[in-house]
Amino acid sequence: MYLNLLNMLKYLIIICVFAWPLSLLAQNKPLSKPNIVILYVDDLGYGDLGCYGATQVHTPNVDKLAKNGLRFTDGHCTAATCTPSRFSLLTGSYAFRNEAAILPGDAPLLIRPGTPTLPAMLQQAGYNTAVIGKWHLGLGNGTINWNEPIKPGPAEVGFNYSFIIPATLDRVPTVYVENGAVVNLDPSDPITVNYNHKIGTDPTGLERPDLLKFKADTQHSNTIVDGISRIGYMSGGQAARWKDREMVDVLTQKTQQFLAQQKDKPFFLYLSYTDIHVPRDPHPRFRGATKMGSRGDAIVQMDWITGEVINMLEKQGLLKNTLVIFTSDNGPVLDDGYDDHAEELAVHHQSGGPYKGGKYSAYEAGTRVPTIVYWPGTVKPGRSRALVNQVDLFASLASLTAQELPASSAPDSFDMLDTWLGRSQRGRPTMLEESFTLALRWGNWKWIAPQEKEAPAWLKDKKIPTGLGKQGQLYNLTKDPAEQHDVSGTYPNQAKKMQDMIGQIKQRGKS
Ligand code: NG6
Ligand code: CA
């Protein structure tokens, strides 16, 4: 009798031990492997959306995501420029560890194949992965032959499918690359690219300003493609060259194709918009959508494509099982090399919201960007003030999909899943902000490290406050969110402590 009871107890325990995780799994099933979509805008500032206070531009589609999702007010990309932020997003590592800086259009791949990456981790978790849009992380191993299969590239760092522009809208080669091959390449008209000297017979902006849609500064006055002079020289590939005004529809169509093919596996889509980076030449149907010229109209175009993607997910019945993260790669910039009147037309618009600086800047608007998480039925609508950073998406999404990260991977990425999904208000205790110097957030304290090096000459000509200086600066963002009053003189110990903390982050792996 006694033995029987013991046996029964044993079975009960066995049943419980096995059934409990199974029941958890069943409960969590829709949670553990949702589709994941990162909508990554180029150069969108904190104040550029209606849901973040803009009044001169209407962004109903993104505003809807914010209204029905979780809107962060202290969400950051890791750096105030593109390549470093993208490097961090995909590797979970601060960019300075790899000296990641803005790359030319013919630079080699910055992420070494074999490096643990967010898409590779998701592949491991059973996802089909894709990147569509701007890449700007380099391609190939050295000198790229654009007329042959181009690798390593997205495929070698974890993407099953890629349809990219290699660098930026303002850099050659101005072609799409699909799964490592230039789209529409005519072998009898091979592509050559050079970032040092002119090649081929295409006119440059300096030679033929009369051919230009808008004037440009010297750096942006090399080969003219589609009426716009670019950075760098290019010859050949006439049939392959993109048309700026058609790009939004090309990217929408590619996204549609990718989504339509998804059936059995969960998918990860990194949709990397080319808006609202310069040169801003939106489709004519968006022209005049705002009174802010092409920068405002590009924001409306960006809002449109966002709405299209959400509609596609809805039509396919995927919304409830798709985690959408909408954010930007760096803060805003108005004049970035082309004479598109962005500055003079933005008189009533604060592209950085209440924050100082913008793209290239160590001040808050350099990295504090719109950040919205949308997952109907799972993420409760609301607002979060927690300090979050894109570098944590790697570890957080690994946690969501139950993947173990090897100790050596994603050294700066922390599992902040509960915060990203709004289940917790706990933010990062500390966080680096990378620009031409390093800054550290520690709660609401902000320290901008002293920097001996000066800003590049082209940046000095702009009105952007970079935050660079031989003296460090300390701000209390609770009292002074716009970083107007440097209090390092009043709190020298705090300043020293934070400078030391930057030193420690540089030394150690995990920060
Ligand atoms: C800068 C370019 C700027 C932009 C930026 C990269 C000059 C003078 N300025 O060097 O126009 O292309 O690089 O932007 O060349 S990012 O968003 O990709 O980081
Ligand atoms: Ca950018």
Q: Which residues of 112-141 are buried (b: 16+ CB within 10 A; e: fewer)?
A: eeebbbbbbbbbebebbbbbbbbbbbbbbe
Q: Report the separation in Å between the CA atom of 278 and the middle of ligand 1, taken as the mean of its atom positions.
A: 8
* Beta carbon of 179 within 6 Å of any ligand 1 atom: no
Q: Are residues 227 and 371 in the same domain?
A: no
Ligand 1 atom having least distance to the Cα of 278: 11
The pLDDT profile of the chain, 511 residues, written as one tens digit per residue, is 444 544 554 554 444 444 443 433 333 344 579 999 999 999 999 999 999 999 999 999 999 999 999 999 999 999 999 999 999 999 999 999 998 899 999 999 999 999 999 999 999 999 999 999 999 999 999 999 999 999 999 999 999 999 999 999 999 999 999 999 999 999 999 999 999 999 999 999 999 999 999 999 999 999 999 999 999 999 999 999 999 999 999 999 999 999 999 989 999 999 999 999 999 999 999 999 999 999 999 999 999 999 999 999 999 999 999 999 999 999 999 999 999 999 999 999 999 999 999 999 999 999 999 999 999 999 999 999 999 999 999 999 999 999 999 888 999 999 999 999 999 999 999 999 999 999 999 999 999 999 999 899 999 888 899 999 999 999 999 999 999 999 999 999 999 999 999 999 999 865 5
Q: Are residues 172 and 196 in the same domain?
A: no
Is residue 490 in some structural domain? yes
Judge whether 203 and 224 are in contact, CB under 8 Å. yes
Q: Are residues 281 and 356 in the same domain?
A: yes
- The model carries a pTM of 0.94
Neighbour-count burial of 375, counting CB atoms closer than 10 A to its CB (0-12 exposed, 13-18 middle, 19+ buried): buried
Is residue 385 in some structural domain? yes
Q: Are residues 280 and 355 in the same domain?
A: yes
| CATH number of the domain that residue 134 is part of | 3.40.720.10
Domain end point (choices 424, 442, 458): 424
* DSSP letter assigned to residue 223: B
Q: Are residues 247 and 347 in the same domain?
A: yes
* Beta carbon of 336 within 6 Å of any ligand 1 atom: yes
Q: Which domain holds residue 451?
A: 432-507
* Beta carbon of 488 within 6 Å of any ligand 1 atom: no
Which residue minimizes the CA distance to atom 5 of ligand 1?
102
Q: Are residues 201 and 143 in the same domain?
A: no
Is residue 57 in some structural domain? yes
Estimate to the nearest angstrom the gap between the alpha carbon of 266 and the chain centroid.
22
Q: Are residues 116 and 259 in the same domain?
A: yes
Write out the two tokens for 275: 């808006």
* Beta carbon of 82 within 6 Å of any ligand 1 atom: yes
> Could you tell me the CA-to-CA distances from 62 to 41, 69, 374, 383, 423 in Å, in that order?
12, 10, 10, 15, 22
Q: Are residues 275 and 409 in the same domain?
A: yes
Domain end point (choices 392, 424, 456): 424
> Could you tell me the CA-to-CA distances from 110 to 38, 56, 138, 148, 409 in Å, in that order?
21, 38, 6, 20, 16
Q: Are residues 146 and 286 in the same domain?
A: yes
Secondary element (H or E) of residue 37: strand 35-41
Domain end point (choices 424, 457, 479): 424
| Count of domains for the chain | 3
Which residue minimizes the CA distance to atom 13 of ligand 1?
102
Is residue 342 in some structural domain? yes
Q: Are residues 127 and 203 in the same domain?
A: no
Q: Are residues 302 and 406 in the same domain?
A: yes
Q: Are residues 397 and 446 in the same domain?
A: no
| CATH number of the domain that residue 440 is part of | 3.30.1120.10
The environment of the single-atom ion ligand 2, i.e. residues with CB closer than 5 A, is 42-43, 82, 329-330
